[in-house]
Amino acid sequence: MKINDIVLEKVVGLSSKIPSNNMMEFVLVGRSNVGKSSFINAISNRKNYAHTSSTPGKTRTINYYLVNKKFYIVDLPGYGYAKASIEEQNNWATFINKYLKTSEKIEEIILIVDIRHKPSEKDCQMFSFIVSATGYEPIVIATKSDKIKKSEVDKNIAVIRETLNATDECEIVPFSAEKKDGVKTFINILSNIIED
């Protein structure tokens, strides 16, 4: 199935129950305020479809977005929100880990990081957890590429790859929600996965 445009329909946001379904799931993970909602809005070419907030930790549910009535993009709660209590952070981590280990329809996991900074310790832990839980590396989307010089993009991608201990085969996509850089690349990756 070739994807030309992404048409999203928000289906449900759940805080405690993982639903069963018969469609493939492409799962978004990343720390709080890294730009997951902006990423969703950019790939669907809609400004405020997924709620964005200047306050980290706003998303505390699993949000399902039906794409072209064919598969789901699943937005998991952001991790590493410092102002949340330790108990709350642990609850989120348990919930995310349970989802990643028990959902039977996960086709691909997408890790969102900030291209301007080295991946955090929690980013590295999540990357390693995904590899150990699934046996494959996630797609890495390096957001906010418009905030650095074009001459710095390749260098920063190399730092991300080295810090995550990712292989040369791991897809790391520079992405800008503001300028839509990386949108076509990501949609092509989705298309290739679905066509296999």
Residue 90 in contact with residue 112, Cβ under 8 Å? Answer: no
pLDDT tens figures, 80-94? 665 566 676 666 667
Looking at residue 51, its pLDDT comes to 58
- Residue 33 vs residue 56, higher pLDDT: 33
pTM of the model: 0.85
pLDDT tens figures, 150-178? 999 999 999 999 999 999 999 999 999 99
Residue 67 in contact with residue 7, Cβ under 8 Å? Answer: yes
Residue count of the chain, please give it.
196
Structure tokens at 121: 């310790």
HEC secondary structure over the chain: CCCCCCCEEEEEEECCCCCCCCCCEEEEEEECCCCHHHHHHHHCCCCCCCCCCCCCCCCCCEEEEEECCCEEEEECCCECCCCCCHHHHHHHHHHHHHHHHHCCCEEEEEEEEECCCCCCHHHHHHHHHHHHHHCCCCEEEEECHHHCCHHHHHHHHHHHHHHHCCCCCCCEEECECCCCECHHHHHHHHHHHHHC
Averaged pLDDT, 65-85: 77
Which amino acid type is present at position 172? Answer: I
pLDDT tens figures, 178-192? 999 999 999 999 888
Highest mean pLDDT among 34-38, 44-48, 106-110: 106-110
In this structure, CATH architecture of domain 8-195: 3-Layer(aba) Sandwich (3.40)
Looking at residue 67, its pLDDT comes to 83
11 Cβ contact partners less than 8 Å away, ≥ 6 residues apart: 64, 65, 66, 72
Q: How far apart are CA 110 and CA 130, in angstroms?
A: 10
Whether 2 has a pLDDT exceeding 60, the answer reads: no
Whether 117 has a pLDDT exceeding 80, the answer reads: yes
Whether 99 has a pLDDT exceeding 90, the answer reads: no
Averaged pLDDT, 19-40: 85
Which amino acid type is present at position 57? Answer: G
| 141 φ, ψ (degrees, to nearest 5) | -105, 120
Looking at residue 20, its pLDDT comes to 63
